[in-house]
């Protein structure tokens, strides 16, 4: 069985800055409502960004995106200045 990256190489450069922020926060496992509050955007916008991330990276689910974010956090940021991919503040 091929791994995810063998089937479709992960190209994080196709993501917008906001999509990168959302992707990194997905690794925290928080619900969309908390992610939205943390980012100062609507929950519906978080869902839209998540759907776009899944589509652009050829993933199957939000859960798979969260795993990718956890495993590839350093590559995703690629030197970009962004917040830490840790837990979302209350």
pLDDT digits (tens, 9 = 90+) for 22-62: 999 999 999 999 999 999 999 999 999 999 999 999 999 99
Would you say residue 20 has pLDDT above 70? yes
What burial class does residue 88 get, using C-beta atoms within 10 Å of its C-beta: 0-12 exposed, 13-18 middle, 19+ buried?
middle
Look at the domain 4-76 and name its fold: Arc Repressor Mutant, subunit A (1.10.10)
pLDDT of residue 43: 97
Give, in degrees to the nearest 5, the angle at Cα 51 between 37 and 29: 50
How many CB atoms sit inside 10 A of residue 1's CB?
4
23, 15 Cβ separation under 8 angstroms: yes
90, 38 Cβ separation under 8 angstroms: no
Would you say residue 2 has pLDDT above 90? no
Give residue limits of the domains in the chain.
Answer: 4-76
pLDDT of residue 1: 35
Q: Is the pTM for the entire model greater than 0.85? A: no
């Amino acid at each position: 069985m091929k791994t995810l990256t063998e089937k479709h190489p992960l190209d994080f450069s196709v993501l917008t800055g906001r999509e990168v922020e959302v992707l990194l926060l997905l690794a925290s496992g928080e619900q969309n409502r908390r992610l939205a509050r943390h980012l100062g955007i609507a929950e519906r916008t978080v869902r839209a960004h998540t759907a776009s991330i899944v589509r652009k990276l050829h993933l199957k689910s939000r859960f798979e995106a969260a795993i990718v974010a956890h495993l590839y956090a350093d590559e995703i940021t690629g030197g970009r200045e962004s917040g830490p991919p840790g837990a979302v503040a209350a």
